[in-house]
Structure 1
Amino acid sequence: MSILSEILPKKEITNYFIVLGLEERYIRAAVAEITGNRVRILGIGKSEFNEVENEIEAVDIAISMAEKTVPEKLLIHNVIFALPQFYLEGENVKPEYLIRLKKIAKELDLKAYGFVDYVSSIINYLETTESSPPTVLLMDLSSEFMTLSLVRVGKIQQHIIVKRSDSIVNDFSSSLPQFEADILPSKIIIFDFSDKSEELREELLRFPWHKHSIFLHTPKIEIFTNEKIMTAVVEAAATSFLPNISETLPKISREETLQAETEVSEPESVSEELEKAETDQKGEKFGFIQETLNEKIATIKKETKPIDGKFVAGKIELQKVSAKLRDRISKIKFGYKGIILGIPPALIVILLIYLIWNYPTASVSLITYPLPQQYPMEILFAKDNAQGSGNLPVISIRSITNEISGDKSAKSTGTTLMGDKARGEVTIYNKTTTSKTLARGTILISGPLKFTLDEEVKIASAGETSEGITFGKSTAKITAAAIGPEANLAGNSNFTFSEFSEAVTGAKNSLPLSGGTSREITSVSKEDRDNLEEQLTAELVKQAKQKILGNINPRERILDSPITTTVSSKKFNSEVGSEAKDLTLNLTLKVEGFVYNQAELEKLINPQALTVPAGYTFDPTKTTVKLEKSDADKNGNISAKVAIIAYFIPDLNLNQIKKDMRGKSYSEALAYLEKIDKVGGVKISQTNKLPFLSKKLPFKSQNITISIVSR
């Protein structure tokens, strides 16, 4: 080995792998690299398919899209699957889906190392980005299934899987009774579903939240983009399977040629690899300790790294030095010089003890589930500090107006007959002895059909001849009153006039009438326009309320009703009865909502009058109001029957918990806290730490700060 190789920096080794996200009719793929402690996504691809037979082709397309930025000579065979919840049964892949995974791996020459699931991966991602365990309702919408995952403090409490119908609102509504929880989170995250995500979100915004007591108020709805999904599953795959991948992945030095390094070992049985998936990585996420992905990778590499021979040699040398030092100290005669020599070590020991005792500090957040209780009450929400009548409590409200615009399209459902009217010529006979003038538009009748004269007609009177009476006659053009081929009458058809009897006048056509046609077309009906306006108005009101929530003060809340709307502009692309398969509406609304101050509401509750459950204390900061019935007067004041929802949090002896936890390692502290009733999760953050005590809580209880976080 040359001297230069020891002096120059080591070459970084890069490992590559594929993460393949499979869904019912949708494929996501990502190619990632691990260099040192860093994980980086090189490319992302996606593809759709309609039939199961086309799944492998779709997977190949998605991988090819993701591999566009990868060197052409590099062949990546190692893959980790990312699977939705309906693919799984407990900890294992369902047999019918396992067959498909094996087929994909075999046909595309991939070596499977296991799988991660979408829900757990996204929970880990949210914990990292939000610095706390999430409480959220996750919604995965595939082409055939809707999966709802209830997550509280980073723990999956329940999965609900329902078959999709034409309406996401109906599917969502039918799933709610299946939840075992009394109250669901106020945040919903929808996994990105191709280009329909925003459309599905808009449809979900029309859901009648106020009719379902399982929601305290309208939840915030977000879309988790495809890029975030792939980042989440790649990070989960890297941290879960890094040791196994690192041992067998093709290692590529950035300074070496690719040609000599792209050989991959023969794939093992895919079924064996998949059945081993995740068995060592699953577990309850009771404790949450702040740790970055790089730190996780570093920890894994440290745990799997073999012992270095240089370290052992160094340890032997240290033992020799210690032995010599003890030998010399034993020869010192402790007189005046001994005392002088002993002072520095003593000071170092005292300083070290002082640092260990006083310097480390840590904060521990105990995450708990609040216990809600409802109290009925009548309240007057009043504008401009108006006074209520009688003993009715008054809460001040102020109005906020937002102007919001949007457009929406829907299919037309009306039908209209289109076509031409029959036309022709008739001979009109006057059977009286006086001449007649018939005005334009005079109605002629032949059976059930009606016709009109195209122009004014003058008819001479009837006269006597040697052969008898000769009727006066005149020719005239007529048009059918309605479109359709029914009015194409044959020649010699008889006509009468609505104004005269048959004895006075009549008409007959010598030639057939022609030109009458009809066809049924899809057109816009009045109901189409009314329904579209109602739907778009509801969506815009939801969006306006979300904007209001973003603009009010932290201690203010919005009343679900009344919400008043004023149309600023409205434009349909088609009129009623016009031919159109699609109807579009552009609408601008002024939406007025009312907000109140949470502090005023809290004052209405007398803590002494509450029935506090044993082991709990009242938390005034979480008090909410649920409007059950309201009636606005002409002044804009709102008399309402409401349910005041008070929350109670566990009454914990925090001083005792501090004393019991001091000096414990993180794992010991988590094990201790997990046994405490009513604690649902823990977050530990160390502010001041010593390098050799980085995973221990301070020995001094005063240096531990404990707070209760109520979810």
Structure 2
Amino acid sequence: MLEGLLHHKKEIKQYFLALAITEDRIDGALWEKDGQGKVNIAATASENYTASDWETAIIAADKVISSLEPNVPEGVDLQKSVFGFFPEWVSEDKIKSEYLKKIKQLTSRLSLTPLGFVDIPQAVSMYLGSSEGSSQTVILIGFESKHYTMSLFKIGKLIGSYAFNRSENIVSDIEKALNKFADVEVLPSRMLLYGTAVDLEKIKADLLNYPWQTKANFLHFPKIEILPNDTVVKAVVIASSTEIALPVEKSEDMVESVADNTAVSASGVSDQGESQEVADIAQDLGFVGEEPVKDLNIENEMTEVEKQQNANIAPVTIPENKLSGKARSSFAGQIPSMPKFSFPKLTFTIKLPAFRKSGLIVLIIGLLILMAGGVYAFNWFYPQANVKLLVTPKSLLINEDVALDTASSTVDVDKKIIPGSEVKLEVTGTDKIITTGKKTVGDKARGEVTIYNKTVNPKTLKKGTQIQTGNLKFTLDEDVSIASASENVGSLNYGSNKIAVTATDIGTSSNVGSGTEFSVADLPTGYYSGRNEKVFTGGTSREISVVARDDQKKLREQLLQKLQQQAGDEVKSKLENGKKLLDGSLTTQIAKETYNKEIGEETDSLSLDMSVGATALTYSQNDLDELLSKIVSAQSPVNYDYQKEKTKVSVTETLKPEGSKQMFKLQIEATLAPKVEIGDLANTITDKNCQDAISFIKNKFNIAGAECSINRSFFLFKDKLPTNPKNIQIEFSNL
């Protein structure tokens, strides 16, 4: 019996190709959409191409499709395609003629059936809104190798989009582009970069180093981020999916009733209808057709081979179609005709107990009352909605001298004093570095020299007397006595004596050869001289690593810094709940330090053991919050509230202590939100639809905007806010 009542529909899935085409890269995505409208992106791929050579673009697209095809189910042809272009490719919602010809060549060569295209910036905005769950207030900047596109959105609405040529100074380019939005009172404080340019990281770094608050209408320094590489093609998929509807496929048990007796294809659409639909879409997109696009005759510009390839490709154009709250897209408006169908007739026979006429009326009335009560109760308790009021905050920068007093137990708002406590501990550690000092060591050369006395008087030279040859110096190892010279017939015999000598310096240079002449220090060479008969030996030298004074200094500073960080971490780990460490209050003193080597000693590395005593000041976060609230409130403009959770506080300078008080300079970056007295707003907007509620709120309150979303609704009133005001959540959000 159940089999006769239930007709199971086969799951309908269609597979599509998305191509985001820019001037230097092609991104592709394989995606599917089922009968319930669920979209799944099965795979993505991308390929670069040479901007000046469209043939390389077709090859790149072919590679992208080849990368995606392994994910396509067997028997399915990947032909139906959607495209994404930057605004410079489009004019008045139509592809420019110079680009239209290129797209026609690509779709013809690759046997693709084009369905339509989307504007990339608006598609990205729609994708972000879908993935982040709220309408976007953002500046989108899409970069290509030669161009960039800047688009500004506020609460999902496109304020403006402009394309520009890139120059060498991209920061200057962006500043000039922002001038296009000079009439926007406050620019969004979020700037997202995306696209195919290879230098996005460098662009981001340059933008982060630029003083935007002084150069454009930014309330805060903008948050600048780079979107993932596949964002563009995923955005094309999401934007396109909203425009593509699937046909209904009949079940085997369904009673067929097709008015025009058209044969139904496997996809649920008549072969004739599908053919006509593609032709209609192609005609609209404006690639080619029975009547060529105005001012562009592609057929005349193609070779005979290209014309033959294009013979079975349906032409395409894009009708104007602006989506409310979505990315503007151009898709054929025709949907395949659905075959008519009917369900089997069912006959029920129910025997009811006999009632008197009056009793039956009472029963019916009772049932109606019960049903009405159930409907009312369900409509009261079940629906839920969220209304968000968007306000423009103000920033307030305050610098104050504040004291932390370890002798105090309460906050003194007038004197700007908060109570504190002192924490002491000791930390130890070891560290080492590679030594940088160098030293030459070795042995001194030794030898024997004969000293000659050319005078008529004997001479005694003391131990240590220097003799010299060139720049090399040697000293006598012992005292030596040299006899005087003696006369002989016709000649003079010099007095002489041999003595051992040692070089004054180390090194091989003192290993002098035999027959070297020497002079005696402080004595005339005409009276005294020396000569060696044998080569001097033993002189050696080598360079070694030793501890330099700077090595000890560097290691000391390095280890002390580590121990200071360790001391701060240990203080924080021991803090009680709600306690904070005062920035800049941590002081340290070295208690003990021991090096493994002294200055000048030979070693490749130097190690140090150190003990450090640390003292720090802590305070209660609640005490500081109490003081901040008073300080900020006293300086806030009228009709603005202090937002504690969005306030940043930092210690800019720690001053000298005064007894039990530690003085410090505090910088407060406070965020103020305008006061909006909404009163009993929830009661006022019950049973209104979202659009009427937003219009009412904007007219009544001084706010920047409003957002409304119905989370759960009663099917009879699915577009209305709940009847029960307690089920309408109202919250504030800063732009």
TM-score range (shorter-chain normalised) is: 0.5 to 0.7
Distance 1:708 1:313 in 2: 55
CA–CA separation in structure 1 for the residues paired with 2:248 and 2:99:
24
Aligned CA-pair RMSD: 5.5
Q: Does 1:363 align with 2:385?
A: yes
Q: Which residue of 2 aligns with 1:39?
A: 39
In the other structure, the counterpart of 2:286 is 271
1:603 aligns with 2:630: yes
Which amino acid counterpart does residue 707 of structure 2 have in structure 1? V
Name which of 173, 189, 192 aligns with 1:189.
Answer: 192
Cα shift at 1:46: 1.2
SS class of match (1:50): coil
Alignment of structure 1 residues 34-183 onto 2, 5 Å: 34-37=33-36, 38-53=38-53, 54-71=56-73, 74-89=76-91, 91-180=93-182, 181-183=184-186
Give, in whole Å, the separation in 2 of the partners of 1:176 and 1:392: 46
The corresponding residue for 1:19 is 18
Shift of 1:143: 0.8
Q: Retained in 1: the 8 A contact 2:136–2:153?
A: yes
Deviation at 1:15, TM superposition (A): 1.4
Listed as ranges, the matches of 1:381-400 within 5 Å are: none
Give the superposition deviation at 1:626.
Answer: 11
1:268 maps to amino acid: A
- After TM superposition, the structure 1 = structure 2 runs for residues 404-483 of structure 1, keeping only pairs within 5 Å, are none
Deviation at 1:246, TM superposition (A): 11
Structure number with the bigger relative contact order (C-alpha 8 A, sep ≥ 6) is 1
Structure 1 position 705, deviation (Å) = 3.0
Per mean C-alpha deviation after superposition, the further-off stretch among 101-110 and 223-232 is: 101-110
Provide the residue aligned with 2:400 in structure 1: 379
Query: Is the aligned partner of 1:647 residue 2:673?
Result: yes
Distance between the aligned counterparts of 1:349 and 1:39, measured in 2?
38
Matched, 1:684 2:686: no
For 1:556 and 1:50, locate their aligned partners in 2 and report how far apart those are by CA, in whole Å: 60
- What amino acid is aligned across from residue 222 of structure 1 in structure 2? E
Flag the 1:351–1:196 CA change in 2: closer, same or farther, 3 A.
same
Deviation, structure 1 residue 7? 7.2
Rounded to whole Å, the distance in 2 between the matches of 1:87 and 1:599 is: 58
1:281 aligns with 2:298: no
Mapped pair 1:348 → 2:370:
yes
Preserved contact between residue 9 and residue 249 of structure 2 (Cα < 8 Å): no
After superposition, the C-alpha distances for 1:472-508 in whole angstroms (9 at most, x for unaligned) are xxxxxxxxxxxxxxxxxxxxxxxxxxxxxxxxxxxxx
Residue in 1 that maps onto 2:643: 620
Number of equivalences: 481
Deviation at 1:136, TM superposition (A): 2.9
Distance 1:58 1:213 in 2: 40
CA-to-aligned-CA distance 1:436-486 (integer Å, 9 cap, x gap):
x9999xxxxxxxxxxxxxxxxxxxxxxxxxxxxxxxxxxxxxxxxxxxxxx
Flag structure 2 segments of 5+ consecutive residues without an equivalent: 251-263, 269-273, 288-314, 328-332, 421-468, 473-577, 585-618
Q: Whole-Å Cα distance in 2 between the matches of residues 339 and 5 of structure 1?
A: 35
- The one-character-per-residue Cα deviations of 1:252-272 (angstroms, maximum 9, x if unpaired) are 779xxxxxx999966733317
Q: What is the rounded CA distance, in whole Å, between the counterparts of 2:417 and 2:170 in structure 1?
A: 40
User: Following the alignment from structure 1 to structure 2, what is the Cα–Cα distance between the partners of residues 370 and 277?
Assistant: 38
Which residue identity lines up with residue 686 of structure 1 in the other structure? N
1:30 maps to 29
Report the Cα offset of residue 186 of structure 1.
4.0
Deviations 1:318-363 (A, max 9, x none): 9xx99x99xx99x9532xx457634641442342253145223323
Structure 1 or 2: larger helix share? 1
Does the aligned pair in 2 maintain the 1:209–1:215 contact within 8 Å?
yes
**How many angstroms apart in 2 are the aligned matches of 1:359 and 1:694?**
14
Letter in 1 for 2:367: P
In the TM superposition, what whole-angstrom CA distance separates every residue of 1:227-251 from its partner, at most 9, and x where no partner exists? Answer: 343323212111123369999xx98
Amino acid across the alignment from 2:236? V
Q: TM-score scaled by structure 2?
A: 0.52
**Matches of 1:670 and 1:605, distance apart in 2:** 32
Rounded to whole Å, the distance in 2 between the matches of 1:556 and 1:229 is 47
Kept in 2, the 8 Å contact 1:138–1:150? The answer is yes
Q: Is the 8 A contact 1:363 1:705 kept in 2?
A: yes
Q: Residues of 2 paired with 1:140 and 1:91: CA distance?
A: 19
Paired with 1:211 and 1:107, the residues of 2 have a C-alpha distance of: 52
Q: Is 1:379–1:394's contact at 8 Å kept on the other side of the alignment?
A: no
- Which residue number corresponds to residue 662 of structure 1? 686
Answer whether contact 1:115 1:274 (CA < 8 A) is retained. no
Letter in 2 for 1:276: I
Partners of 2:579 and 2:34 in 1: how far apart?
A: 48
| Counterparts of 1:61 and 1:104, CA distance in 2 | 13
Q: Which residue of 2 is the match for residue 694 of structure 1?
A: 718
What is the distance in 1 between the residues matched to 2:671 and 2:631?
Answer: 12
Structure 1 residue identity aligned to 2:733 = V
How big is each residue's C-alpha offset from its partner over 1:62-95, in whole Å with a ceiling of 9 and x where there is no partner? 2232223225754333221112244345645445
Q: List per-residue Cα deviations over 1:272-329 (Å, max 9, x = no partner).
A: 78653560524579xxxxxxxxxxxxxx99x999596547978xx89xx99x99xx99
Segment drifting more, 267-276 vs 73-82: 267-276
Query: Distance between the aligned counterparts of 2:339 and 2:159, measured in 1?
Result: 41
Corresponding letter in the other structure for 1:648: P
- The 8 Å contact of residues 24 and 50 in structure 2, kept in 1 or not, is answered as yes
CA distance in 1 between partners of 2:391 and 2:240 (Å): 31
Contact 1:132–1:683 (CA under 8 A) maintained in structure 2: no
Summarize the Cα distance change of 1:265–1:168 in structure 2 as closer, same or farther, 3 Å threshold. closer
Report what 2:306 is aligned to. Answer: none
Query: In the aligned structure 1, how far is the partner of 2:10 from the partner of 2:277?
Result: 21
- The structure-2 alpha-carbon separation of the partners of 1:118 and 1:393, relative to structure 1 and needing over 3 Å to count, comes to farther
Counterpart contact for 1:15–1:252, Cα < 8 Å: no
Name whichever of 213-222 and 80-89 sits farther off: 213-222
Q: Which amino acid aligns with 1:684?
A: S
Q: Alpha-carbon deviation of 1:16? A: 1.9
Contact 1:216 1:626 in 2 (8 A): no
Secondary structure of the residue that 2:230 maps to in structure 1?
helix
- In structure 1, the partner of 2:606 is none
Letter of the aligned partner of 1:661 in structure 2?
I
Deviation at 1:604, TM superposition (A): 1.8
Change (3 A) 1:239 1:598: farther
Per-residue CA distance 1:683-707 (angstroms, 9 max, x = gap)? 31334x4344433322334443333
Q: Which runs of 5+ in 1 are unaligned?
A: 255-260, 286-299, 398-436, 441-554, 562-594
Measured at CA, do residues 49 and 662 of structure 1 come closer, stay the same or move farther in structure 2, by a change above 3 Å? same
Whether the 8 Å contact between 2:286 and 2:317 is mirrored in structure 1 is yes
**CA-to-aligned-CA distance 1:83-134 (integer Å, 9 cap, x gap):** 2244345645445444443443344343322212222222222223222223
Distance 1:221 1:342, change over 3 A: same
Letter in 2 for 1:31: L
| Stretch moving more, 214-223 or 110-119 | 214-223
Deviation for aligned residue 1:24: 1.7
> CA 1:208 to 1:637, structure 2 compared with 1: closer, same or farther past 3 Å?
farther
SS, match of residue 241 in structure 1 = coil
- Give deviations 1:513-559, integer Å, cap 9, x for gaps: xxxxxxxxxxxxxxxxxxxxxxxxxxxxxxxxxxxxxxxxxx999xx
Q: CA deviation at 1:202?
A: 4.2
Tell me if the contact between 1:102 and 1:271 (Cα under 8 Å) persists in the aligned partners: no
Native 8 Å contact 2:18 2:28 kept in 1? yes
Single out whichever of 616-625 and 128-137 deviates more from structure 2: 616-625
Native 8 Å contact 1:115 1:278 kept in 2: no
